Amino acid sequence: MLGAITGDVVGSIYEWDNIKTKDFPLFTERNSFTDDSVLTVALADAILNNSDYGRVMREYYRHYPFAGYGGSFLQWARDRSAGPYNSWGNGAAMRTSPVGFAFDSLDEVLEKAKLFASYTHNHPEGIKGAQATSACIFLARTGSSKDDIKSYVVDKFGYDLSRTIDEIRPDYHFHVSCQGTVPETITAFLESTDFEDAIRNAISLGGDSDTLACITGGIAEAFCGEVPQDIREQSMSRLDEPLREVVARFYDRYMQ
């Protein structure tokens, strides 16, 4: 889960100032967490406490109202009576990493990914993006090879993973959809040599940089086994104490 938060923090300064290179500083004084981290931690909180995720997301929104949420989510969060809004946006995938770490079978991971996405993102593409991301994390942390993960995603979800990062990068632009985000983030992971390289791959594509790196980072952490200590410390230092406390409890329970 901290891999996803790291991707969000590192990518936060490039979302509206895209770069098309892997040569950039991971952290500057301007890096911060955004809605990607807030809603990821909210999901971890809901799983830890077996709480209603919709209620928890709205609570986190009230605590962090300026984290950079999308317009549809803002309307939903402000209206306690609002139901899911049929979104196919990449928010379903960017917040789902705790699912891949917390549950013990692929079937349960797919079921829970659908459940937690559907509080807002109940469009089939939104659900698919959350399931694909969660499944990659589960498969990565349980010992599957990159080739096996790739084959599963292509066969199960029909995503095109045939293009390389170098082929994607020149023409890639800002997408808010799962279908325009999740395949690229999985490719960024598949081509990586280590955790840091995965984050650099994702951000070098341009587009919705923090969300791309958030999705990739969760998968890369699962495959590598951990976030490198120096990167972990930098990422955690960008969170406030309540967010750090939830992250620590989630790791204690699910990621030892």
pLDDT of the residue at 213: 98
Residues 6+ away with beta carbon under 8 Å from 85? 72, 75, 76, 120, 122
Residue 212: which of 222, 225, 198, 227 has the closest Cα? 198
Distance CA 181, CA 172 (A): 10
pLDDT of 11-28, one tens digit each? 999 999 999 999 999 999
Residue 132: which of 118, 113, 108, 112 has the closest Cα? 113
For range 208-222, the mean pLDDT: 97
pLDDT of the residue at 200: 98
- DSSP label at residue 118: T
pLDDT of the residue at 243: 98
| Number of other CB atoms surrounding residue 242 within 10 Å | 13
- The mean of the pLDDT values for the chain is 97
For range 112-139, the mean pLDDT: 98
For range 142-155, the mean pLDDT: 98
Please name each of the domains of the chain with its CATH number: 2-24+31-254 (1.10.4080.10)
pLDDT of 39-74, one tens digit each? 999 999 999 999 999 999 999 999 999 999 999 999
For range 152-156, the mean pLDDT: 98
pLDDT of the residue at 191: 98
Query: What are the φ/ψ torsions at residue 89 (nearest 5 degrees)?
Result: -75, 165
Helix (H) or strand (E) holding 134: helix 124-141
Query: Which tokens sit at 69?
Result: 């949420």
3-class DSSP state of 142: coil
| Number of other CB atoms surrounding residue 230 within 10 Å | 11
3-class DSSP state of 21: coil
Distance CA 199, CA 196 (A): 5
For range 225-239, the mean pLDDT: 97
Prediction pTM value: 0.97
Query: Which tokens sit at 220?
Result: 């890369």
pLDDT of the residue at 240: 97
Question: 70: burial class by Cβ within 10 Å (0-12, 13-18, 19+)?
Answer: middle
Residue environment code for 21-60, b if the CB has 16+ CB neighbours within 10 A, otherwise e? eeeeebbeeebebbbbbbbbbbbbbbbbeeeebbebbbeb
Residues 6+ away with beta carbon under 8 Å from 224? 194, 195
Query: Which tokens sit at 163?
Result: 């293009």
pLDDT band at 256 (very low <50, low <70, confident <90, very high): confident
pLDDT of the residue at 241: 98
Residue environment code for 132-149, b if the CB has 16+ CB neighbours within 10 A, otherwise e? bbbbbbbbbbeebebeeb
- DSSP label at residue 255: -
